[in-house]
Amino acid sequence: MDEDEFDKPATRKQYTKPEYDRLLQLFTHLMNQVPKLRPDRDAWDIEGDWAATGVIHFVDAAYQPLFEPVYDFDCRSIKFVNLHRPAVRVTFYRKHRYRLIKARDMTTDMKVEQIRLYVEDLTTKARALEAKLSQLFAAGQDDARQKLQLYRQQIQAWQQILLQPGRYELAMSNYERQHLYVTANYKYRLPEGDYANQQEHLLNTQRDRLGNITQVRYNIFFIDPAEIIREHPYQNREVEGYLAAFPIKSEVGKYKLYARPLQDPADQ
């Protein structure tokens, strides 16, 4: 099985190439044209490091309506981090993302299929390496022979398992590939005035095995510019936002009473 296929979400929207290209062109145009905010670590309620991910464009929430034409576009290289949920506080951190299929979840047919795919892949790689062996310099030939020996040992070992798959437990995971994604944990205000938390991983820039960039990926992060720069502690902002939704309050006493009319279900 292709390693990249194992990393992909189970379902993605399908597009014809002209349709995808048209939407990508529109999305890219909107992204490039909209003004960007420059994050200020001294003034913004923002923490962590986001340098190890793709490009992040911080955008004023006022520009969200401009992106409605591509709201449902399942783009592979540009991501809405929080459309309709502009952040009032953001924390970035790195998270190890992986998939794990445990033995109890793999049927015999699944085991046989994955082993066959692995053996076929190694066999193809071994044949290709053997074909170019004579074209390599001496040092390259030594490395190639060591790799061929590893391929053959692996093929033999897994072919033995394939003969009696019922005698083995099999699990699958990309855990050891060490996919580290920058993840954003952010707070945003709900329509009724309360705050909620959301977590979202960001798109990484794609690189080849040598570390060279093969595709730049972009993340669009909407910001509430009025709330994110408030200086007092975030917990105070949350309480203030909650209490501000009560139009009636007492004016005397150690504690204030707050009230608001219940909404009639018939009016909802």
User: What's the pLDDT tens digit per position in 69-117?
Assistant: 999 999 999 999 999 999 999 999 988 777 888 989 989 999 999 999 9
pTM for the full predicted model = 0.63
pLDDT band at 5 (very low <50, low <70, confident <90, very high): very low
> Helix (H, G, I), strand (E, B), or coil: what is residue 207?
strand
pLDDT at 21 (0 to 100):
96
Calculate the dihedral angle through the C-alpha atoms of 66, 72, 77, 79, rounding to the nearest 10 degrees: 70
Element holding 208 (H helix, E strand) = none
pLDDT tens for residues 181-205? 899 999 999 988 888 999 999 999 9
**Looking at residue 42, what is its pLDDT?**
87
